[in-house]
Amino acid sequence: MAEVPKNDEPTDATPNVSEVETVDAETPEEAVAAIEAPVERGEPILQVRNLVKHFPLTQGVIVKRQIGAVKAVDGISFDLYQGETLGIVGESGCGKSTVAKLLMTLEQATAGEVFYKGQDITKLSGRALKAVRRNIQMVFQDPYTSLNPRMTVGDIIGEPFEIHPEVAPKGSRRQKVQDLLDVVGLNPEYINRYPHQFSGGQRQRIGIARGLALNPEIIICDEPVSALDVSVQAQVINLMEKLQDEFNLSYLFIAHDLSIVRHISDRVGVMYLGKMAEIGSDEQIYDHPTHPYTQALLSAVPVPDPEAREGRERIILTGDVPSPANPPSGCRFRTRCWKAQDKCAQEVPLLAIPERFVDQDTPAAHESACHFAEEKDVVHAA
């Protein structure tokens, strides 16, 4: 076994997250009961604290020596509230999909905690974990590879019931699947068709129906519309918003398309190289960004309006994202940042409300991990 690497970096003094009320369940029954308990709208349902995932890099065939680690997620904290949509944006390789896998407990976290209704799911097992998994479901990116081509639509959507038979008794499953097809806007008569008989947008609807089958409370969407055509994208986004209202769902919406994230999200977190760079409400992030990376990212988005574009200032970053196996010291963005100074190489900036904005009542007062945080509107034309 490789030794678990210690995260020696200082942890964020995160005022954006609330106090975790942990539930100490002695027996599995108590744990399950706590998981089944309802959460009020606006209360935190999922609380992530200093989550870390390092993938070890090994050398040698028989005697494996660890020579380093890919620091895919390196200490992030955030809250997901009941009924809200939290968007996570970032470039490829910044760790957003690893976060999704950790929350689904598909990967074991190296360190840190994920509290679902006060219970740390990284330490759960058995019945309690199964109950959590029922309540956190996922919609995947590629509707072409995430559906088994040899199963009918009815089998695909009904498969979760095999694992959680308490949700739908055997006799009622077919009816339940047909209801789900109807909910996502597909003809219930398509129950015996195969995935290849559907278009991309329809397949994504099947994926969403499968996610909804167990009446979950949280749906984690990993790039759910990036493989779809523009005209179909809007249909799927509208469907997801409708379902959220109807079933009172909380979404964690991971995407690289900043326009779509703004449209669907209540709050947005920007990730860079395994760390959260900035987090706030959609207005705070898009209209009042204070982290240089967010500003660069926003200004690089092509705006479908030539006139608005010509009045905008563009920040073009040079180079690529550094390797997460060997991230830069101090602030991870400093190698591509135009504001970088000596301090940035030595001190890791913490995710906190920048000092200069602390006592001010402005939208710029939200958490940003930059030593030289400054407000700059890059989205609107000058």
Partner 1 sequence: MTIIDKPADVPAPRSGGEKSGRLLDVKDLHVEFHTRDGVVKAVNGVNYSVDAGETLAVLGESGSGKSVTAQAIMGILDMPPGKIPQGEIVFRGQDMLKMSNEERRKVRGRKIAMIFQDALSSLNPVLSVGYQLGEMFRVHEGMSRKQSKAKAVELMDRVKIPAAKERVNDYPHQFSGGMRQRIMIAMALALEPDLIIADEPTTALDVTVQAQVMDLLAELQREYNMGLILITHDLGVVADVADKIAVMYAGRIVETAPVHELYKRPAHPYTRGLLDSIPRLDQKGSELYAIKGLPPNLLKIPSGCAFNPRCPKAQDICRTEVPPLVPVTERDGTDLAGRGSACHFWKETIHG
- Binding footprint of partner 1 on the chain (CB under 8 A): 91-92, 199, 201-202, 229-235, 237-238, 241, 256, 258-260, 262-264, 282-283, 286, 296-298, 300-318, 320-321, 336-338, 379-380, 382
CA distances from 82 to 39, 45, 131, 319, 360 (A): 7, 5, 18, 39, 28
Q: Select 1 or 316, whichever has its Cβ closest to partner 1.
A: 316
The residues that bridge with 76 in the sheet, in sequence order, are: 51
Rounded distance between C-alpha atoms, residue 252 and residue 380, angstroms: 27
| CA atoms 212, 218, 223, 229: torsion sign | positive
CA distances from 43 to 19, 74, 99, 105 (A): 11, 26, 21, 22
Q: Select 246 or 320, whichever has its Cβ closest to partner 1.
A: 320
Q: Select 136 or 153, whichever has its Cβ closest to partner 1.
A: 153
The residue to which tokens 């010509």 are assigned: 310
Rounded distance between C-alpha atoms, residue 247 and residue 298, angstroms: 32
Query: Is the separation of the CB atoms in 358 and 365 below 8 Å?
Result: yes
Query: CB of residue 312 vs partner 1: minimum separation in angstroms?
Result: 6
Rounded distance between C-alpha atoms, residue 137 and residue 217, angstroms: 8
CA distances from 51 to 135, 174, 188, 295 (A): 20, 40, 41, 25
Rounded distance between C-alpha atoms, residue 32 and residue 27, angstroms: 9
| CA atoms 288, 291, 296, 297: torsion sign | negative
Q: Select 161 or 286, whichever has its Cβ closest to partner 1.
A: 286
Q: Select 232 or 350, whichever has its Cβ closest to partner 1.
A: 232
Query: CB of residue 271 vs partner 1: minimum separation in angstroms?
Result: 12
The residues that bridge with 352 in the sheet, in sequence order, are: 368
Q: Select 160 or 327, whichever has its Cβ closest to partner 1.
A: 327
Query: CB of residue 320 vs partner 1: minimum separation in angstroms?
Result: 5
Q: Select 159 or 266, whichever has its Cβ closest to partner 1.
A: 266
| CA atoms 234, 182, 88, 73: torsion sign | negative
Three-state DSSP class for residue 361: coil
Three-state DSSP class for residue 59: strand
Three-state DSSP class for residue 198: coil
Query: CB of residue 379 vs partner 1: minimum separation in angstroms?
Result: 5
Query: CB of residue 265 vs partner 1: minimum separation in angstroms?
Result: 9
Residues 6+ apart with CB under 8 A from 224: 139, 140, 141, 204, 207, 208, 236, 240, 253, 255
Q: Select 36 or 313, whichever has its Cβ closest to partner 1.
A: 313
Query: CB of residue 353 vs partner 1: minimum separation in angstroms?
Result: 23
Query: CB of residue 339 vs partner 1: minimum separation in angstroms?
Result: 9
Query: CB of residue 294 vs partner 1: minimum separation in angstroms?
Result: 11
Query: CB of residue 50 vs partner 1: minimum separation in angstroms?
Result: 27
Query: Is the separation of the CB atoms in 78 and 48 below 8 Å?
Result: yes
Q: Select 29 or 310, whichever has its Cβ closest to partner 1.
A: 310
Query: CB of residue 276 vs partner 1: minimum separation in angstroms?
Result: 18
Q: Select 78 or 293, whichever has its Cβ closest to partner 1.
A: 293
